[in-house]
Amino acid sequence: MAHQNFIIKTGVFEGPLDLLLALIEKRKLFISDISLAKVADDYIAYLEGMKEFPIGTTAHFLLIASTLLLIKSKSLLPSLELSEEEESGISDLEARLRLYKRFRSLSVHVAALFGRERIYSRDRERFIQPIFSPHPQISPANIVAAAHSVLADLPLVEEIPKALVSKIVSLEEMIVKLTKRVKASLKLSFAEFTASGGRAPARRAGKRLARDEKLNIIVSFLALLELVKRGVVEAQQREPREDIHIESQDVGVPNYGQI
């Protein structure tokens, strides 16, 4: 029995699940005396102690437990009307119990006879009439033609072009680069920085900047604004569209004018 290791322990009964069902069937035990909640809790504890979850035995337990719950509800509420499906569930359980009782009694005799002597010997191979036989018009050539027809009707697979993604320097990286350049040279122009340390070359006359070059110049300018905001550098632009001069705030360099 699948549940032979599961023992039910209540105030009026202690034993395996199949014995409980047998007693209820013989009316030697009242269903109202059994706490189905206690039975369910014990079975959950039993499952927690197992290494693998027994799906089949658990489904069988739920079927019997739900039917027992229905029987108990009927006994507590005699006026409860059951549907045809519920009535058939009770009848099915009773039929299963009778069948189980019969097989259990026969298993004792089978166990006593098992292994005493060989009770079965294989006869010579018998011809078995095939259950399914293909139509005479079905031939290997027809199957190949049908396969070609199906494959010809399949939609063509369109290859999606691969896009190459180039890495763009981040704002944090550009802030670090600009900070190092300014601290190293004390003074620096924005054009000098974008021409070398910022990865973006300065714009050449008559030529358009590439997309990556534009993005790097934008990120460099945002890094400059962030450093000015933090008070790390000072930036000056005398006229619109002129170059921006950057000076470190750590060391002040006196301006003696142009010679």
Q: Quick: pLDDT tens for 132-150.
A: 777 878 888 888 888 888 8
pLDDT of residue 242: 87
Q: Round the average pLDDT of the chain to a whole number and report it.
A: 74
Q: To the nearest whole percent, how much of the chain has pLDDT over 70?
A: 66
Asked whether the predicted pLDDT for residue 18 surpasses 70, the reply is no
Asked whether the predicted pLDDT for residue 42 surpasses 70, the reply is yes
The residues spanned by each domain of the chain are: 7-113, 171-248
Asked whether the predicted pLDDT for residue 130 surpasses 80, the reply is no
Asked whether the predicted pLDDT for residue 27 surpasses 80, the reply is no
For domain 171-248, which CATH number applies: 3.40.50.720, 1.10.10.580, 2.60.40.420, 3.40.50.300?
A: 1.10.10.580
Asked whether the predicted pLDDT for residue 209 surpasses 80, the reply is no
pLDDT of residue 191: 86
pLDDT of residue 193: 85
**175 or 89, which is more confident?**
175
Nearest to 72 by CA among 98, 34, 43: 34
Q: To the nearest whole percent, how much of the chain has pLDDT over 90?
A: 1
